[in-house]
Structure 1
Amino acid sequence: MRLTQSSPFQFSLVILLVSLLSACGFHLRGDYDIPDALDTMSFTSYDEYSTFTRVVKRQLRMNEINLVTPAENVPNLTLVSESISERTLSLYQNTRAAEKELTFHAVYRVTIPEIGDKTFTTSVTRSYLDNPLSALAKSVERDMLEDEMRKLAASQIIRQMARLKANIEAGTMNLDKDGAKISTKEMAQQEADRKAQEKVGSDLSNSDSVN
C-alpha cells in the first residue's frame, strides 16, 4: 500500500490561505452571524441566578459577543420571563398519565439605541414517557429534557438576534417578515401583544415559584 504525502506546494498553499484569511480579519464565530452592531451589548434578566440566564450568557460568549455593563448607548438583551408547562398526551388503562409533553416558553426583549426595542417569544416542546415504576429515572429524564430545551431556546434567541441585521439597516425594529416597515396600527397591536406576552410569562413564572 502506498501512502500519499502532502507536497511542499500544497503545504505552502494552505499557509497562504490562512494568512490571507487572517489579514482580511476573517474569524470563526458561533453558529450564527451576529450583526456587528451587536458585537458589544449588555445582558439583563428577571432572575440573574437562574439556569436559563447562565445558558443564554454562555451562548452569547460562544458567539463572541462582548458583555458589558448596561448603558443608554449600548444594545441590550433582556430576559423578561421563562416558564415550563406540561400536558398529558396519553393515559395508561388505570387513567394515570403515560406520556407527557413539556413546553419551555421564554419572553425576551432586544433594545438597540436610536433604533428601538422589540419583544420576542420562543418555545421549545419535548415529550417523555411517565413511567410510575421508575420515578428516579423519570425525574432524571425530565431534568435532562428541561436542560436541552433551555439550550435550544438560547440558540433560538441568538438566531433571532442574527436576523436583526435588516432592522439595523432600516433603522427600525418594526419590520415585517418581508423587511417592510409596519404601520402604526400594526405597531400598536404588537405593543398590546407584547404586554400580554409579558403578563402571561410573569404569571406562569410566579405560579411555578409558588408550586
Structure 2
Amino acid sequence: MVAHWFKARLVLLCLAASLLVGCGFHLRGSLPLSQYPAIYVQSEAHSELAALLNQRFQQNNVARLADFDANKPALYLIRDTLERRTLSLFANGQVAEYELIYKVEYRIQLAGQEPQLYQFELYRDYQDDPNKALAKAQELELLLSELRQQAANRIIRQLARLG
C-alpha cells in the first residue's frame, strides 16, 4: 500500500515537472541567454547599470566582447538618469515627499539587423525628513540600487525576447 502511494506521488511529481519545463517556465532572474554566446556592451565609464548587466551576463555564461563585431549582438547604454519631482511639502515649506524617476535609454543591435532604440522610466516615491538626513540618504541609495536592479532585469528580458 505504501509503495503504491509513493509511486503515485512520484508519477504526479514527474508530470508536474514536465509540464513546467514544457511551458517555458523559468525561475525569476534566471532567463536563458543561450542564443547570445557573446555580446558587446558600450556604456559610460563607471556606469553602475553596466556593472549590473555584466553580472547578469556572467550568470548566464555570456562572454563580453572587448570590441564591436558586426556578427555579434551589441548593447549600447545611451543614458540612465535620475530625476526628482516634488510631491508634497511640510507646513514650513520644506520638501516632504519626492517622486524618483529613473530613465533608461539603450539600443540593441543584432547581427544583420538595424539597431532598435528602447527607453523606459521607473518610478518610486521617497519621503524626505531633514531631521534624519543620514538614514534618508541611505534609504535613497537603497532605492537607487533597486531601480538599477529592476532596469538591468528589464534589459535582460528584452534581450531574451529578441533572441
Does the TM-score normalized on the shorter chain lie above 0.5?
Answer: yes
* Alignment pair present for 1:7 and 2:6: yes
Q: How does 1:186-197 map to 2 (within 5 A)?
A: none
Cα distance in 2, alignment partners of residues 82 and 121 from structure 1: 10
Structure with the largest fraction of strand: 2
CA contact (8 A) 1:122 1:157 kept: no
Amino acid at match of 1:110: I
Say if 1:30 and 1:71 are closer, same or farther in 2 by CA, change over 3 A. Answer: farther
The two structures have a TM-score, normalised by structure 2, of 0.77
Question: What is the aligned-residue RMSD (CA, Å)?
Answer: 3.5
Q: Which residue of 1 aligns with 2:137?
A: 139
Conserved? CA contact 2:36–2:73, under 8 Å: no
What is the correspondence of 1:119-138 to structure 2 with a 5 Å cutoff? 119-138=117-136
CA deviation string 1:115-144 (max 9, x = no partner): 221111121110111101100011001000
Partner residue of 1:61?
A: 58
Instruction: Report the CA distance shift for 1:138/1:33 in structure 2 as closer, same or farther (over 3 A).
Output: closer
The residue that corresponds to 1:196 in the other structure is none
SS of the equivalent of 2:131 reads coil
1:14/1:93 CA distance change after superposition, 3 Å: closer
What residue identity is the alignment partner of 2:63? L
Which stretches in structure 1 are left out of the alignment for 5+ residues? 19-25, 166-211
Tell me the alpha carbon deviations over residues 67-100 of structure 1, each in whole angstroms, 9 at most, x when there is no partner.
Answer: 2323121111121111111011000011110001
Q: Structure 1 residues 103 and 9, CA, compared in 2 at 3 Å: closer, same or farther?
A: same
- For structure 2, the 5+ residue unaligned runs are 18-23
Native 8 Å contact 1:40 1:66 kept in 2: yes
- 1:41–1:76: 8 Å Cα contact kept in structure 2? no
- Using the aligned pairs only, state the percent identity: 26
Whether the 8 Å CA contact 2:70–2:112 is kept in 1: the answer is no
Could you tell me the TM-score, scaled by structure 1's length? Answer: 0.61
Which of 104, 107, 117 pairs up with 2:105? 107
Q: 1:130 & 1:83 partners in 2: Cα distance?
A: 20
